[in-house]
Every structure is written in structure tokens, then in C-alpha cells.
Amino acid sequence: MSELFDAVDALVASRAPLPPAQERKRLRQAHGLTLDEVAAALKVRRATVSGWESVKKTTEPRGPEREAYARLLNRLADLYPTPPVPEGAAAPAAPAAFIAAPALGEAQPPLSVPASDAAAASTTGNTRITPAPPPPVPAAAPPPARTTESTPASRRPGAKKAAPAGTPAGGTDPRFENGPLAVVDVDTGGQVLAYCTGGLVLDVPAKSLPALVEWTLKEARLGQPRLSGPGKDADPLIVLTEAALERYGLPVTLTDQERLAGRIPEGHKVIKQLVRAEWKLTKRGFGPWARIYRPATGSQRACVQLCIPSWNALDTRHWGEAAQLPPAELARVLGVYASRVMTPRGSTAVTGLELMTALHPPTRASGLDAAGERHSEHNPGSLGKDPVDCAPCEAPDGHPLLKDLPRFHVRGPAEKLFEEAYDWARPMTDAECTLPHLVGIDVNMAFAAGANGLVVGLGAPAHVTNPVFDPKLPGSWLVDLSHVDLSRVKVGKDTWAELDAGLLPSPFTPKGERPEGPAWYATPTVAYAVELGYEVQPVEAYVRYDNGRYLDGWYQRLRDAYLATMADLGVHPDMAPADFLAAMDGYGSRDPQLAIVASAIKATVKGGLGKLRERPRGEGWRPGQPWRALSRPTWRPDIRAAVISRTRINLHRKIVKHAAFTGQYPVAILSDCVVYATDGTGPLDFLPYREGRPLPGGFKLGVNPGLVKHEGTQSVLWGEEVRDRFGTPDLNLARYIKDGTVADVDNGE
């Protein structure tokens, strides 16, 4: 029985009440004790005791340390009671109750959490679990609770579920128990701290950048498990705040020359420190996303990725105000992104491309040979480890394949594949001018949806002449589609529709102009001409017999990441149309940090696809010479063209179905945004829903990729006034429909 009583006493002592941090410091100083003396008595580190007394970043002891610390403070309180407050004076404000930072993706806790309910912290070695103050939450729009239910989309065969909110990207792997990344900062006391995901804070003993790299690899336990069996574990990411940059001898901001070069000079003292410590930098040097490494020995990698927000590592176009967040909140934003997408490897575009490789590594280990050894071999379904040449028609201007062309030669449609997103508009009809409103709808994750299930080439192209078109064979086709007449098109197996072709864009050109003769098209574009009921006779083609659904896993991971983040923001799949529109109204204000994550996920899609045809980035390049991006196997302009082609065709198909059923035609299209003139102010005023069911094959409201949301509403008078002001009757109003601002036109852009 005595053992049970001892266990109960220990349990009670482990939760011994402690005074606020400010009072703890007062009591220690009243008795003349130093931090070192208290630390020695309790057998903890000096920085640990300092954290217990920090008003801004209070930590809490646990276990035997808490019992002993409470005993010390109680004895001191008896000796030095709190001074009485003079009559009429205001009582000193109690320090705010700090609570543990919310888990990844979880709703922010309310600010009025009682101090007695605050999560306690633990100290183990050099690790401190630090309660971080939560950002304020608008009372009128509290963030939704973390969703744990799976969506129908995530139950598809082969789909990879996004990590549940609150699960560190490192999972249960002890090598990465502290998560994928840390934001390194310096507190007011001069202590270097590493803010990890989930509210974890580590004391950093490193006095120099080389030492910080060593500490990250040997002690921090940061990183992320591989996303595919043959792949590689993600390197740890260290984010350096301005205070950390100063501590380690790096500039807080780059000069104009350094910013243009994308790096600090090779002779910088910190780079010399790295060289002396036998660390290397990649060819891009020490820039906003520096990679510091030593050559791998066997399967052991020694590499750390740096992210420097004040050097514009986190582009505001994609990461919003993330660079301005406090360290703990920035760790949360990047941690959610890492757990659901992957640890950032650079810009969202770079990460989008790296995600493709991480899910489909170029090589894998072979089976055992006769000697019982394994070798590296091609991983089926990947792009391989060696780059392949594109077809001449797929090559952008300046490519080495085109070096023999005359200097000022401009390639036409019969020489160049030009698959791009829509930028089309037309003057409004008299009937449309009598309507009161212009309503824009936008396709969610349109390019991700275009990649879903798409068969793309994996190897080099094969040139064929007078081929028979095969809609299942990816490639580029030279074919005349000028005979396709949109005034009569096939909209079903045996159903034809009569349309006003003058009010529709052509599906075959980005500007919506009808083709005038043979031109190069990607497979989805030619297949759509057949779908509309017209024969096609290609003249020649570059096809890829080695092909597959390379982007499926990439789409599924980004889709799940987006849906999980939007669900945390209160927007769920399968909502009723009106409920979905209401949930989307101001969703970003419910948790601005998660709204940043949603924006970054969408930018990862577009940027990753754009990287497939990356152009020269300075470096003294001249037309006809190769540039750096051509040396990687993921430089594949044909894959980018196929995705854009399919995305544009998907949109046109919905527009045709909508026109055939309702008689309504768009007045402007920009990429994935379509504008209609309507009687009402919202999508439900013109989208044909019957008993909650949308038009089959038409537009459907929802958060899933490929479905649409409300982009914005303006008046028809606004549209006509803008066009009159700039003398452009076909000015693309889809560009400005969101908020009505037309500053780009004022600037002549």
C-alpha cells in the first residue's frame, strides 16, 4: 500500500503549482541566487532555468525537476512574500497564460485558457518543449476543429493520404523525431533557439554556421522519411531569422548586386569558415536557399538545406507574409506544408519539381546478382537519371536544336508547339449589356486536375510521318484543325448541339482564334477535335511509346494536401453548393497561417509544371547554347504542354456543355477563370443546378480540384466603362473581376 501512496504523491508532485514566470524571477533575485546556482542545485542547464523565468517564452518543468523547483519557490515565498499593493494603486497585471503551440493544422486554441490548464513542458538533454503564444483568432470566425475523417477523394486506389493534422512529418522515425525543420532565432537573453514543429524548442549550442550544420546533422534529429521506397530521406531544413543571421556573421539583407547574383560573394568570411570545415556549397552558391553538404559516403548523406526569409526565400506572391511571422508561427506554417507536401527544397516551383522526383526516383536497387550483390537500375515509371532531347517543335526559342535557324526567324504554328492557357475575351452582345452583373468562376487547382490520370511520355520522342492519330499515345502532332466548326459539335455519344460559334473561343489556341492551317498540338488537343465529331489527319508527329501516368502520385499528394488544409479552414468536399459558397467567404481569415499553406500548395502545382520548361536564368547564356536546366531529366516541355493542353480542353468542354444547355456564353477567360454576364450576383444565379445536382459535364461548385468557386462579381457597367476608358472592346475582364482593380491596365501591362 505504501508503494501506491508514494506513486500518488509523486503524481501530485509532478503537477505542483508554480507561480508566474515574473514571480519566479523575483523570488530568486530576492534571495540573491544566480541562475547557475539554481541550475546546479536542480541538476539542469542554466538556459533551462532561464526559460522557466522568461515572461515571453516561458517553459515549464516536469517530473522530479518540477517537484524540486516548486519546493524551492515555496520556501522562498515564505521568506519573501509578495509586497502589498498600495491602496488605490492598480494591481500588477498577471503575466499572460501561455499554452503549448497547436499541433500542425489544428485549430488555434482560445486565448482565455486558464493557466492551470496550460500544457506543461519537458526538458530532456538540450531539448525544451516551449509553450508558444497562439496568434489571435477572430471571434466572429473561429477556425474549425481539425478534420480527421477521410474524404471520398482520399480513398481512391493508390492515393497517398496527407499526414493527419498534428502529425510531424518525421512520423515515428526516431531519426526525425523533432520534425522536418527548425526556425533558428536568438532570444533577448542571447540564447540561440531552434523552433520546431508542434511547439518544440531546442537549445542550440553552435557558435558558428559550420557548427550549426554539424549540430543539425548529429543532434537535432531533424529530417523527413522518403516519400517512395527507392527514394532518399529529406535533408533537414534550417530557417535563419534576422537575429540568427547576425549571430552567425551573415548579412540581414542582400545588396542589389548580391540580390541579382542570387548569392553572397565567394570570399565572404562565413563561406571561408565552411570551406575550412570541409563543407561544400552547390553551384548556386550561398543564396536564399543554400545547400551545405559533404560528399556522401555510401548511403549516408550529410546535407543541410538553409532557408533565409529576409533574403526573399519566401516569395510573398506564394507565401504571403510568412517571412514576417514570429519563429514559432513560421515553423508551424512550414511544418504543415512539409508534412502534407514535402520539406521545401527551394521556391514552391523548385519544390513542385522535386516532389515529382521524390515520388518517382530515377533509380532503384536491383535484385541480387550471382555474387549476391545489388546494383542501381532504372526505376520503371520514372523519367530516368539522364536527360532526353525534346522534339524540335517542342523546343523553346533559343534551344540548341534551333541553332541553325536564321537569327531573326520567327517560328509559326507549323513549326512550334504552342500549348498555353487561355487569355481570351470578346465584346459583349447587346443582350448581355442589358444584364446587371458580371460573375467570375474559377476552377480549383485546374492544372493539378489536368495532370490527374494524364498519360505522358517517359522517354525520347520518335518521329513518324503520316501517322494515324492515337488518342492514347502522348506526343506532338502536326495537323490541320481549321475545319472544326463550333457551330455544330458533338456533346454526347449520339447528341449534337447547335451553338453560336462567334461567342465561343476556339479550343485549339490560347487566344481563342480559329486555326488557319496545320499546327502542332499535344495529344489532348487533337483528341478533343475527334471528341467534337471531326476527323483528323496528322501530317507528322513526335510520339513517345515509352509512357505512363507519371503525374498521378504527384497530383494525389498535392490534392490531399490542399483538401486537408481547406478542411482545417472549414471548407469540406461534398458540401451543398450554397454551404460551399458560404464557407469560402473569408475562409482565409479563420486561420491566416493555414491560408498561407493553401496558397503555397497551389503555387507548388503551377510552379512545378512551369519548371518542366525552365528558361535560361542569365548566367551569360546566348541563343543556341545549352542552359543549366537542360541537364536534368525533369526538363520536359512536352509534359508541361500536355498538362496545359488537357487543362484548357477540360475548361472548354465545360463551357460547351454549359452553352448547349443554357444558351449562355462566356465574355472572358483567363487561364482557369471564366466570366459570364448574368441577372444575379453569384454562381448559383446562372449555373444550372436541379435538386442540388449540377449539369453533367458542366461546372460544379466545390473545393475538389477541377470544380469551381466564386472568383468575383462586378457590374456590367463597370466592365463597359473599363473597356471604354482604355479603348479596348475585348479587354480581358477576367483579369480584374476579383476586386475590380485595373491598375495593370494603367501601367500598360
pLDDT tens track for 316-363: 999 999 999 999 999 999 999 999 999 999 999 999 999 999 999 999
Query: What is the C-alpha separation between 135 and 101, in angstroms, rounded?
Result: 9
- Examine the domain organization and report whether 6 and 71 are in the same domain: yes
Between these two residues, 115 and 457, which has the higher pLDDT value? 457
C-alpha cell at 216: 543539425
pLDDT at 536 over 80: yes
Query: What is the C-alpha separation between 440 and 714, in angstroms, rounded?
Result: 9
**Residue 743 maps to a domain:** no
C-alpha cell at 542: 513526335
Per the DSSP assignment, residues forming a β-bridge with 676 are 439
Query: What is the C-alpha separation between 420 and 398, in angstroms, rounded?
Result: 19
The last residue of one of the domains, among 499, 532, 548, is 548
Q: Report helix, strand or coil for 647.
A: helix
The pLDDT-based confidence of 577 (bands split at 50, 70, 90) is very high
- Examine the domain organization and report whether 167 and 302 are in the same domain: yes
For residue 76, the domain's CATH number is: 1.10.260
The last residue of one of the domains, among 548, 577, 599, is 548
Query: CB of 344 within 8 A of CB of 315?
Result: no
pLDDT computed for residue 37 by the predictor? 81
pLDDT at 3 over 80: no
pLDDT at 134 over 50: no
pLDDT at 393 over 70: yes
* Rounded mean pLDDT, 136-140: 35
Phi-psi region of 298 (alpha: psi -120 to 50; beta: other; left: phi over 0): left
pLDDT at 154 over 50: no
For the CA atoms of the chain, what is the radius of gyration? 30
Weakest mean pLDDT among 20-34, 315-329, 430-444, 464-478: 20-34
* Rounded mean pLDDT, 713-738: 93
pLDDT in tens, 400-410: 999 999 988 99
* Nearest CA among 96, 49, 99, 98 for reference residue 69: 49
C-alpha cell at 578: 450554397
> DSSP letter at 399?
-
**Residue 111 maps to a domain:** no
* Nearest CA among 322, 318, 313 for reference residue 345: 313
Weakest mean pLDDT among 344-353, 368-377, 409-418, 619-628: 368-377
* Nearest CA among 180, 191, 315, 294 for reference residue 238: 180
Terminal-residue alpha carbon distance, the chain: 83
Torsion of CA 394, 400, 405, 410, to 10 degrees: 50
Maximum pairwise Cα distance, the chain: 99
Element (H or E) spanning 641, and its range? helix 637-662
- Examine the domain organization and report whether 400 and 512 are in the same domain: yes
pLDDT computed for residue 4 by the predictor? 59
Q: Report helix, strand or coil for 475.
A: strand
pLDDT computed for residue 84 by the predictor? 59
The pLDDT-based confidence of 608 (bands split at 50, 70, 90) is very high
Between these two residues, 141 and 372, which has the higher pLDDT value? 372
* Nearest CA among 287, 247, 280, 246 for reference residue 265: 287
**Residue 525 maps to a domain:** yes
pLDDT at 95 over 60: no
- Examine the domain organization and report whether 284 and 188 are in the same domain: yes
- Examine the domain organization and report whether 161 and 299 are in the same domain: yes
- Examine the domain organization and report whether 38 and 175 are in the same domain: no
**Residue 266 maps to a domain:** yes
Between these two residues, 741 and 180, which has the higher pLDDT value? 180
* Rounded mean pLDDT, 614-626: 88
Query: What is the C-alpha separation between 528 and 22, in angstroms, rounded?
Result: 71
* Number of domains present in the structure of the chain: 3
The pLDDT-based confidence of 259 (bands split at 50, 70, 90) is very high
Find the domain containing 488 and state its range.
Answer: 392-420+452-548
**Residue 587 maps to a domain:** no
Query: CB of 3 within 8 A of CB of 52?
Result: no
- Examine the domain organization and report whether 339 and 400 are in the same domain: no
Query: What is the C-alpha separation between 366 and 191, in angstroms, rounded?
Result: 49
pLDDT at 139 over 70: no
> DSSP letter at 359?
H
Query: CB-side exposure of 289: number of CA atoms within 13 Å?
Result: 15
Kind of pairing between the strands at 181-186 and 237-240: parallel
Query: CB of 411 within 8 A of CB of 637?
Result: no
Strand positions, DSSP E, 491-570: 496-498, 518-522, 540-543, 547-548
- Examine the domain organization and report whether 414 and 483 are in the same domain: yes
pLDDT at 162 over 60: no
The pLDDT-based confidence of 531 (bands split at 50, 70, 90) is very high
pLDDT at 240 over 50: yes
- Highest-scoring range by mean pLDDT, 90-94, 150-154, 238-242: 238-242
| Burial of residue 334, with CB atoms counted within 10 A of its CB: 0-12 exposed, 13-18 middle, 19 or more buried | buried
**Residue 557 maps to a domain:** no
* Rounded mean pLDDT, 29-41: 81
- Examine the domain organization and report whether 470 and 326 are in the same domain: no
pLDDT computed for residue 589 by the predictor? 94
Torsion of CA 157, 160, 164, 166, to 10 degrees: 170
Between these two residues, 22 and 178, which has the higher pLDDT value? 178
Sheet of strand 475-480, all strands in order from the earlier edge strand to the far edge = 462-465, 540-543, 475-480, 518-522
* Rounded mean pLDDT, 37-57: 81
- Examine the domain organization and report whether 192 and 337 are in the same domain: yes
* Nearest CA among 656, 701, 396 for reference residue 531: 656
- In percent, how much of the chain has pLDDT > 90? 67
pLDDT at 107 over 80: no
Give me the phi and psi of 712, to 5 degrees please: 170, 160
pLDDT computed for residue 15 by the predictor? 63
The pLDDT-based confidence of 121 (bands split at 50, 70, 90) is very low
pLDDT computed for residue 14 by the predictor? 57
* Rounded mean pLDDT, 152-180: 52
Weakest mean pLDDT among 24-33, 243-252, 663-672: 24-33
pLDDT computed for residue 161 by the predictor? 35
* Rounded mean pLDDT, 289-294: 96
pLDDT at 434 over 80: yes
Give me the phi and psi of 302, to 5 degrees please: -130, 90
**Residue 662 maps to a domain:** no
- Examine the domain organization and report whether 303 and 173 are in the same domain: yes
- Examine the domain organization and report whether 98 and 159 are in the same domain: no
* Rounded mean pLDDT, 452-460: 96
* Rounded mean pLDDT, 675-700: 93
**Residue 613 maps to a domain:** no
* Rounded mean pLDDT, 738-748: 68
C-alpha cell at 305: 538545406
Question: In the 3-class helix/strand/coil scheme, how is 292-340 assigned residue by residue?
Answer: EEEEEECCEEEEEEEECHHHCCCCHHHHCCHHHCCHHHHHHHHHHHHHH
The last residue of one of the domains, among 495, 514, 548, is 548
